[in-house]
Structure 1
Amino acid sequence: MDLLLDPFRYEFFVNGLLVAALAGGLCALVGTYVVLRNMSYIGHGLSHAIFGGAVASFLVGVNFYLGAGAWGVASALMVNRVSRRRSIGADAAIGVITTASFAVGIALISSSGGFTRNFEAALFGNVLGVSRVDVIVVAAVTAVVALVILLLYRQFLFLTFDPEVADVFGVPTARLDALFALILASTVIATMQILGVTLIAADLVIPPVIARLLSDRFRTMLTLSVLIGTVSGFAGMYFSFYLDVASGASIVLTQALLFTIAYAASAGNRFSRRRLAGVETH
């Protein structure tokens, strides 16, 4: 029993567990809309774009959340603007913006030197860097995002499933798209410390995909996604203590395991239904 409770003796790890659970739930909440709107590439690209701001804020000595936040808001608005241009492929345009921003971060690192440890933490997450302030920030962002989605639930639902019709009915789709881009940027910035740039996209996508395998109803899918994200975030962080691996990698591997189980279960259910249908028709 002492072995199982050992991680809870360290304040930094308790902070990590809290942040991981909050980050998992937050990413899963936002990720449900990302997956259903086929915006996974935007989430992936935005996480890389904000990396440049994170590096710049560290080198200049500005607070991480202020520096990365300003960069993230600018990147989100630019990505949203460019993605609405039909003359250029959205994925190609976003690729230009995000890779250029990521390259800025790499260039700053290579020119500064002595940044190896922080570079790895930014890419893969680092539980040792999580403080009580990070817990408060992630909790605050989670609360604000949840409140916004609750207040604009019907509008976001309409926009997600039928944006053209939503526009016809007077739903301010352009403003909602910009707002969602800001929500996505805030989510990436708040969770970068624990998940790392390279794995945030997975945390945005995997829990909603698992929930989609388990339910066809949007409300149920949203609830399951948040539950899966929260539990897998906590469990993945907990396992990282014993496996001695990066927290982000442990969380994503836990989610990948859950996806495998859910996929096998859903495939088995489909096979059973087909067999029953075959029996009924003969």
Structure 2
Amino acid sequence: MIAFLGLGNMGSPMARRLVAAGQKVTVWNRTRKELPGASVADSPAEAVSGAEIVISMLSDPIAVAQVAEAAKPGLSAGTIWVEMSTIGPDAVTSLRGLLPFDVPLIDAPVLGTVGPATEGKLRVIAGGETPDFERVQGVLGVFGTVHHYGALGAGSKMKLAVMAGQLSVQVLMAENLAYVQRLGLSTSDYFDLLDATLLGAVGQRLRPVVEEGVPETRFKLALAAKDLTLATDGPGEVQTLTAAARDRFAQAAEAGHGDEDITGIVPAVLELP
């Protein structure tokens, strides 16, 4: 049996894929949610009782720690915990210390949004001991392509490295578009010319935002601010450009854009004086 903790924008389609794959699934969410084909538990401890695998997909390090603490009374020796939230390597280390020693831990954040989660096309970025990873590799394959990058914490480190670059580029593009507008240039012409550069793919993603508006939320802007905070607070030197992007996302969230899709950073920056 698999216990799935957290049925947010990403957790719900991921849990549904497990059910569709024929797995016996028990789910828990802070606000009770039904999931067709799955049992619904009233507490994390109830959800994990008797589970061979526990998967957590929650919003931030605090939520993960709280849920893990609440789940501990129901855990059994040999149950393996797969942490799929984006919480950073420090929080993964803290989670390892919180769980019983006989409950192995894999960190396996994902790259992708709601669409890929629904279609089983996520990239699962895993870290942990090889025997533990091999135990859950088949289950993780239900979500998409699975990559194992090394010891515990390696998955979280790789996820933050990718997000730091990806999100910083979106802020760069938003500020560049504001510059284009101040120059009195056509944004349409700008995007056409951008297609001939290394930023062409980013431009294709953001052009509809400028021309049609922010799409339905696939990944909350506030969560992007959280990811960049983790990336700049973690090990290693602070990345200057990433820190600036973090501040832009934080500004946008504080200005009321937090629940919008991350591409909402474009109009948020364009609104700035």
Q: Please confirm whether the aligned pair reaches a TM-score higher than 0.5, indicating the same fold.
A: no
Q: Which has the higher strand share?
A: 2
Q: Which has the higher helix share?
A: 1
Q: Which has the higher contact order (CA 8 A, sep 6+)?
A: 1
**Taking structure 1 as the reference length, what is the TM-score of the superposition?**
0.28
